Amino acid sequence: MKMAFRARPLALTIFLLVAAQALVAHVGSPDVYYEGDAGPYHLFVTVRMPQVIPGVAEIQVRCESDGVRTIQVVPLRLTGPGSNLPPTPDLAQTSKDDPQFFTSSLWLMESGALQVRIMADGAKGKGELSVPVASFAQRTLPMQKPLAALLFCLMLLLTVGAISIVSAGAREGTLEPGETPESTNVRRSRVAMAVAIVMVLGLLYVGRSWWEIEETGYQQRVNFYKPPRAETTLEKGDRLVIRAKAEDPRWSQRINMGRVIPDHNHLMHLFLIARPAMDRMWHLHPEPVEGGAFADDLPSMPAGQYEVFADVVDERGFPWTLLGTTELPQINGKPIAGDDSSWVGAPLETQQASHTSQLPDGARMVWERGSGPLTSNVAMDFRFSVQDKDGKPAQDLEPYMGMAGHAEFVRSDFSVFAHVHPSGSVPMASLKLAQAGLMSDAPLMPAGMAMAASTQSGSLPAVISFPYGFPQAGEYRIFVQVKRAGQVETGVFDAHVE
């Protein structure tokens, strides 16, 4: 019943042993933050992804409801063979200081779209949820010098040892104690030694070739999962065509851009952010065209350099962000309509934290962030409240593409881009696939939608929260997008992260 994981040889185990802490990531934000319900229990889940695959993911579960006694966790494929055959789950450890906090370490043995299934049991019965995770090796870890030296010495010892044992065996193996070897013994020993040297050298050669094949294969997997380049061309003055160009030529054979799946209403979410100051941002939804490309008639926008982030989810549930930079002339296009939105404002401020963002008509959005410094790699609930022009909680919030809000976290150098929702950093399309595989009959709603059901007035609550954690220190700009009375509004906040 176990999912077939292939064992990887020694080389990778050594890579794991020397796992360094530094992180050069994919979309820059590999860890997964998720908030949702496992039956009667509300859970906040953080999955710290390993840098290498196979590798160990750290799972942290905070129970926000009482009564949970045990938490079990298990990884499995998100779709395809094995996705409905979970292996035996691991029991998560309860924290000594906090009985509501559970941790577990899980081996992720393969790359691709996986899910971590979490089963809670307690006073209110059982419940489960599933968190989709994008599993991929982020980098090849170099071997540490002392380890390399140690392994080299061991190799020399084994080599010399093997040869001398064979030679000594041939020379003295048949002698009685105290007898001196005759010239025939010595001759035989020399022949044996020569044969042993040839064999040992042959073995070393085979071992080295094996290592190189593994290393090349591993490097290919690292390259395969690097974000593809977003190749953009402008046609007829205002039509932007986007094509994915991956470093690995096999990428386009295996990932069919013509068969990406809808992710909250759209096949692609395209973000164009003005470089370098992030003082303009467009969130658009290109449609697929011939040959796996996507195209959109751009709205009016000024000439300039833009950073391109194009989010898609492939048919297996793996999220890809196409990355690029494009130089656009002044565009005289169509007005913003439908789910598209744009924002124009002040440039990114560094070393500064903004708490309030003005919205149109005197309304504002407030980041309820407390006074302490922001730290990287800490799971947080980013809470934003929307106030009308009188400072009262806004009464006119409505779902925007099915959710209470959408937040984009962008690092000042564009090395981090995360598109986050009230249910967390998992793509909604992958989440849907994960939930489809659960046994429970309870309808599972993303956190944002659950809130929609809980108000009588018909409007969403005026406070929206996003579970997320900054992946590294630096300056960030956060775009928080909500819909008020049919209009998409964007609150913008700058954050200095230590």
Assess contact for 448 and 405: CB atoms under 8 A. Answer: yes
Assess 406 for contact with Cu ion (CB under 5 A): yes
Q: CB 419 → Cu ion: shortest distance, Å?
A: 5
Q: CB 401 → Cu ion: shortest distance, Å?
A: 6
Pick between residue 285 and residue 369 the one whose CB is nearest to Cu ion.
285
Assess contact for 328 and 308: CB atoms under 8 A. Answer: no
Please give the torsion angle defined by the CA atoms of residues 175, 180, 186 and 188, in that order, rounded to the nearest 10 degrees: -10
Pick between residue 77 and residue 406 the one whose CB is nearest to Cu ion.
406
Q: How far apart are CA 101 and CA 91, in angstroms?
A: 13
Interface region with Cu ion, contact rule CB under 5 A, candidates 143-151, 192-200, 398-406, 443-451? 398-406
Give residue 366's identity as a one-letter amino acid code. Answer: V
Q: CB 263 → Cu ion: shortest distance, Å?
A: 8
Q: Give the Å distances, CA to CA, from 454 to 63, 124, 207, 377, 448.
A: 21, 21, 63, 31, 10
Q: CB 43 → Cu ion: shortest distance, Å?
A: 22
Please give the residue whose beta carbon sits closest to Cu ion in the complex: 406
Pick between residue 406 and residue 477 the one whose CB is nearest to Cu ion.
406
Interface region with Cu ion, contact rule CB under 5 A, candidates 6-14, 35-43, 52-60, 400-408? 400-408
Assess 266 for contact with Cu ion (CB under 5 A): no
Pick between residue 62 and residue 383 the one whose CB is nearest to Cu ion.
383
Pick between residue 41 and residue 320 the one whose CB is nearest to Cu ion.
320
Neighbours of 221 (CB within 10 A): 17
CA 254 to chain centre: 19
Binding residues for Cu ion, how many (CB under 5 A)?
1
Assess contact for 382 and 407: CB atoms under 8 A. Answer: yes
Interface region with Cu ion, contact rule CB under 5 A, candidates 96-104, 124-132, 386-394, 402-410? 402-410
Assess 283 for contact with Cu ion (CB under 5 A): no
118: nearest Cα among 103, 135, 107, 136: 103
Q: CB 354 → Cu ion: shortest distance, Å?
A: 22
Residue 132, CA atoms < 13 Å, CB-side half-sphere = 25
Pick between residue 72 and residue 425 the one whose CB is nearest to Cu ion.
425
Angle among Cα 255, 210, 12 to the nearest 5 degrees reads 65
Q: CB 451 → Cu ion: shortest distance, Å?
A: 16
Pick between residue 8 and residue 283 the one whose CB is nearest to Cu ion.
283
Which residues, at least 6 apart from 222, have a Cβ–Cβ distance to it below 8 Å?
136, 137, 138, 139, 140
Q: CB 396 → Cu ion: shortest distance, Å?
A: 20
**Contacts with Cu ion, residue ranges (CB under 5 A):** 406
